[in-house]
Structure 1
């Protein structure tokens, strides 16, 4: 019996290592080729460069407006995930604690938002009517709105497993709903909040569609649109393209590595609490 378990565990570990290599090998290929000369990159091999050309990154910084694009993407990503986390946690708190038929219907509508695609024509007309095209506020609210259904789904399953005794203790102490949310509930939501923020940050940072449709001023482009423009301008310079792709992917990689333990705990906490 123990021998079969050992074999099963070994098979699972081998499968996980193979899955990991599927991610690490392309990442290694991009990073290594970003440090090669233009001639070496044309060979498209996975060998280390004869000389490490770190000047490729310097050249990308000079030829593309990378700092501005990084700032724009940071503004879009950080602001939208904060707005989404606050609104989603507050909405989930009410939807869970006030278990009425109307609140159940509202929650189901949010679930539909996870499945139904966004109509870009209608959204563009609404954004234009509200004068939110080429606006930081408009893009931030758009991202926050698109992340809210999934984030509410995460919060909802987590809050359902928090004991109502905490709310009752707050009521006895004279705390209102907002005070109970700020002082009692939100500090307990750290795992699921970190999970939602990391996932939404990666989604916002790597998004191509919203900036393409709703940002026409190049000064407000994020890193993905900048890379798209850079590919068109320097199509034959694969060394610079690899360097630009590495620079753009680095923030999401760092955020994911820092938040991976919260992602695991946040995804499972709602199922094991109680």
Structure 2
């Protein structure tokens, strides 16, 4: 018993130390974002002598952040919703209809998790479809890039759902769409939230796709907009830290709102039901 207690104590200490590795950089960014331009040059973890909240106001005014936040919100929320709906529907068919073709399709999605996107081919396709510099184009592109990982999560989760649910629904006269919408999708809440949170963070922090496929500055997301801001204010570290906090805040909020579902969603497929 004493050995188990000592082991548990060591594990708890290790977890607290791991937590500090995350919170110390966060504290460093918060503190330096509230310092003056002169004081922040020292790059210390000391509290500022005077809290300069106007740093955030300067970033919001000079970097056109409100518009960039709106663009990123449109890209992120729209793409994760589209991805969740189509990925769950595809996974439902791939799991319930066990055919050789469906097995091949699922393996192709797995390849999409490791194969890099060919930017030249993708750009030519987007241009041919008149999707460059459009909200619909970047949303569909994000949704497509998220689908391999999201289908993988859904596939593992749906495999553990009893097929008796489908059989009972068929007896009651429910068609495929009704079985999916009324029975299956509500049961996918943990894995759906998990996929949405992960995909939201990825989309919000992405720099590459807007750089290639959005050339109009009024449609830039927050990352690309603040990157241009850094170029203009590269010597103002106080403003850079303030900008970093503004970028970080939405992802932290989304993660905190969905954290109770993340562990269950990620581990559900690893446990036999």
**For 1:226 and 1:25, how far apart are their aligned partners in 2?**
27
Deviation at 1:4, TM superposition (A): 2.4
What value does the CA root-mean-square deviation take over the aligned residues?
1.0
Q: Does 1:249 align with 2:225?
A: no
SS of aligned partner of 2:130: coil
**For 2:269 and 2:177, how far apart are their aligned partners in 1?**
23
- Matched ranges for 1:110-149 at <5 A: 110-149=109-148
Does the 8 Å CA contact 1:37/1:239 hold for their aligned counterparts?
Answer: yes
- CA offset digits 1:42-94 (Å, max 9, x no partner): 11110001111111111111111011000000000000000000000000000
Aligned length: 273
Question: What is aligned with 2:263?
Answer: 264
Question: What is aligned with 2:153?
Answer: 154
- CA offset digits 1:138-197 (Å, max 9, x no partner): 100000000000000000010001011110111011111111001110010000000000
SS of aligned partner of 2:38: helix
Q: Does 1:104 align with 2:103?
A: yes
Deviation at 1:3, TM superposition (A): 2.5
Question: What is aligned with 1:205?
Answer: 204
Task: In structure 1, list runs of 5 or more residues that go unmatched.
Answer: none
Deviation at 1:11, TM superposition (A): 2.3
Q: Does 1:28 align with 2:27?
A: yes
- CA offset digits 1:99-152 (Å, max 9, x no partner): 111101110000000011111111111111111111101100000000000000
Question: What is aligned with 1:9?
Answer: 8
**For 1:140 and 1:273, how far apart are their aligned partners in 2?**
35
Deviation at 1:273, TM superposition (A): 5.4
Does the 8 Å CA contact 2:133/2:213 hold for their aligned counterparts?
Answer: yes
Question: What is aligned with 1:180?
Answer: 179
Deviation at 1:19, TM superposition (A): 1.7
SS of aligned partner of 1:38: coil
- CA offset digits 1:209-230 (Å, max 9, x no partner): 0001111011000010011111
**For 1:232 and 1:19, how far apart are their aligned partners in 2?**
34
Does the 8 Å CA contact 1:162/1:273 hold for their aligned counterparts?
Answer: no
Deviation at 1:260, TM superposition (A): 1.0
**For 1:81 and 1:23, how far apart are their aligned partners in 2?**
26
TM-score (norm 2): 0.98
TM-score (norm 1): 0.98
Task: In structure 2, list runs of 5 or more residues that go unmatched.
Answer: none
Moved over 3 A (4+): none
